[in-house]
Amino acid sequence: MGQGDSMILSGESTAKLMGIPYPTDEEADAIEDVEGDEWPARYLELISAPWFHRLWVVQEFVLGRDVVMVVGRRHIPWGQLWAGSVWYKGVEWPWDSAEYTNEDLTGLFMSYNAMCLVRSCRLIDLNTPHGREFHNTVKLLLCGVEMNQANLPMCMVFFCSHGCTVPRDRYFGILGMVDEDDKEKALSLRPDYTSPMRDITMRFWKYALQTDSGGELMLCAGLPGRAEEYPSWIRDLSAPKPLNHIWIGAPLSTAWHAAGGPARTWSVDFSKDDTDQCFVQGYHIDDITDKSPNGASDPFNFVSMTRWMEEAFNFFAGTETSDGDSNALYPLTADPVREAALKVVMDYNKQDTMSPDDKEFEDMLRIGLSLPRVAFSEHAKEETAEEEITGEKLVEEKTTEGETTEEESTEEETIEEKIISEFEDEILTLQELFLRVHKTRGLGYYKTGKGLFALLPKETCVGDSVWILKGCRLPVVLRPSISHRGSHEFVGGGYVYGIMNGEMLEKPQFEWQEVSLR
């Protein structure tokens, strides 16, 4: 499930979960690899069909006793189609590239995968070995929360991009998929076509935020893309493409983080006097004092990855101390600051300390630390300059603004060739490093007053504050409310190196405080 070895189902369990035959060793050896982009492009075209993105189809698919996909004259088991898009250990995921945007990943791939995951959660037999293995893996993925406690928040997020004629059906349409123990309390979620849309949204969010996975749901809210009529701790899921304003890659997609402690400790209270106000338990880490002006460039390849790493080294470690001490250490972990900077870019997490992932991470870290030197050394520049003079590769030409010149293109190709040549014996590790950094490229680099390194939503501003919330997996950015003194607005979740595993909770005199959000 893209989270390290501890979240990889065995081949036998995966086949049984999907209801497809598990190949013998001989059959597996006979399977031919698919080269090129034709198959990924065809699969993308298939799941772009409107059928996969209508809410009524989700209901039929998740709740149906049997499901068979009819494509032309072919009958395809739903699990077989699902098997074509999931992650496999040691296999490159064909859509993990700059060609596919955040919108592609949320609106297309998440759609069918979410339908299959929710259907599997409902139908899996926990009395079977593969059922127990799947349940344990999903529980890890849900940060320790039982599936029944994640039902409503999970469905609200998974299916918020599916089309429906009546916007409020975005909420009512998922009720049949939710197993709710508290029947009396669940009456507040019954279909209601007379109350204002805002009332429906507030009702569902307040209910879902009170479940054990409410902290996860909170991370899908925030100021970016917020509708004016809602507080910052709610996202209007009835709006078109509501998740487009959230970076769904790392660290949001990394289940191993636990900055605010176990998810089951999450709690929230709501004001009786002000419907826009809620209270959570928080701890102030520090305030943002510096923001990198540069982000990752597109298309994102080995060269742009290296440039973004170099930006991290320059921004985080470039002015290490006033006397230029290159041996400066990161304040929370005593790591060399360059290593700390790279770990931020790579979304360093608990899984990276566990065997066998720890060895692979050390190899990626070593390569990452040397990449800018390999790519942008003076020797590389001299080679490029010689090619310009001799005219072997470069031809000057005028281009309009925003286009890549042939000279720039050729220089980039030269740098990429140099990177690949340097690490040709470790190309798989280099590719794994690329995938790690690719998942964080949608966020920005920030520093705090205490010298902490952070990867945060690009809407974060100098003066915003970094907090951890009790039971919330990621540290969050809060902004003082202009209209309500003592309250904050929720900006979003991110990454701060050195606090992602609950380290702050172990500090002497640590104490949660009530935080007002609007």
pLDDT number for residue 178: 77
Radius of gyration of the chain (CA): 24
Answer yes or no: is pLDDT of 319 > 70.
no
pLDDT number for residue 420: 93
On the question of pLDDT at 322 being above 50, the answer is no
Cα 281 from Cα 389, distance rounded (Å): 64
- What pLDDT is attached to residue 203? 93
Output the pTM of the full model.
0.86
Confidence at residue 391, expressed as pLDDT on a 0 to 100 scale: 44
Looking at the predicted structure, is the pLDDT value of residue 406 above 70? no
CB 125 within 8 A of CB 267: no
Backbone region of residue 251 per phi and psi (left: phi > 0; alpha: psi in -120 to 50; beta: other values)? alpha
Residue 424 confidence (pLDDT): 92
In terms of pLDDT, which residue wins out, 101 or 434? 434
Nearest CA to 212 among 282, 271, 154? 154
Residue 123: per-residue pLDDT: 84
Mean pLDDT confidence for 342-359: 90
CA-to-CA distance for 462 and 448, rounded, in angstroms? 9
Sequence-ordered list of residues with C-beta below 8 angstroms from that of 228, at least 6 positions apart, any chain: none
HSE value, Cβ hemisphere, 13 Å, CA-based, for 394: 20
* pLDDT score at 102: 60
Q: Alpha-carbon dihedral of residues 64, 66, 69, 74, nearest 10 degrees?
A: -160
Residue carrying structure tokens 């701890």: 283
Is residue 205's pLDDT more than 70?
A: yes
pLDDT in the model for residue 283: 98
Confidence of residue 141 (pLDDT cuts 50, 70, 90): confident
- What pLDDT is attached to residue 419? 93
pLDDT surpassing 70 at residue 403: no
Q: Which residues touch 150 (CB under 8 Å, ≥6 apart)? A: 142, 211, 212, 213, 216
Who wins on pLDDT, 405 or 216? Answer: 216
What distance, in Å, lies between the first and last C-alpha atoms of the chain? Answer: 35
β-bridge partners, 444: 456
User: Three-class SS string for 256-304?
Assistant: CCCCCCCHHHCCEEECCCCCCCEEEEEEEEEEEEEECCCCCCCCCCHHH
**Tokens 């050394």 -> residue:** 377
User: What secondary structure, in 3-state letters, does 325-340 show?
Assistant: CCCCECCCCCCEHHHH
Of 28-42, 268-282, 379-393, 481-495, minimum mean pLDDT range: 379-393
Please say if the pLDDT value at position 172 is more than 80: yes
Calculate helix-pair angle for 147-158, 197-209, nearest 10 degrees: 150
* Higher-scoring residue by pLDDT: 34, 204: 204
Q: What is the DSSP letter of 492?
A: E
Answer yes or no: is pLDDT of 136 > 90: no
Chain segment 388-400, per-residue pLDDT in tens: 444 444 344 444 4
Q: Which residue has the higher pLDDT, 157 or 513?
A: 513
More confident residue, 326 or 160: 160
Least confident interval from 153-162, 305-314, 492-501: 153-162
pLDDT at 122 over 50: yes
* Cα 116 from Cα 110, distance rounded (Å): 10
Residue that wins the pLDDT comparison between 499 and 163: 499
Summarised one tens digit per residue, pLDDT across range 450-480 is: 999 999 999 999 999 999 999 999 999 999 9
Compute CA distances 119 → 18, 82, 333, 351, whole Å: 11, 12, 42, 28
Q: What percent of the chain has pLDDT over 70?
A: 85
| Separation CA 322–CA 284 (nearest Å) | 27
Cα dihedral 120, 126, 130, 136 sign: positive
Q: Residue 474 and residue 259: Cα distance in Å, rounded?
A: 5
Domain ranges, ordered by start, for the chain: 5-255, 303-310+337-395+405-437
- What is the pLDDT of the chain when averaged over all its residues? 85
- Dihedral of CA 470/475/476/477: which sign? positive
**pLDDT at residue 92 in the model:** 72
Is the pLDDT at 223 greater than 50, yes or no? yes
Mean of pLDDT values over 223-234: 95
Window from 283-292, 433-442, 495-504 with minimum mean pLDDT: 433-442
pLDDT at 204: 93
What per-residue confidence (pLDDT) applies to 317?
86
Task: State percent of the chain over pLDDT 90.
Answer: 45
Selection from 467, 455, 464, 496 nearest residue 285 by Cα: 467
d(CA 479, CA 314): 27
CA 117 to chain centre: 17
Question: Can you tell me the distance from the alpha carbon of 233 to that of 440, in angstroms, rounded to the nearest whole number?
Answer: 23
Q: What does the CA dihedral 298, 300, 305, 307 come to, rounded to 10 degrees?
A: -30
Paired with 455 in beta bridges are 445, 495
Mean pLDDT lowest among 149-158, 254-263, 298-307, 486-495: 149-158
Whether the per-residue pLDDT at 320 is higher than 80: the answer is no
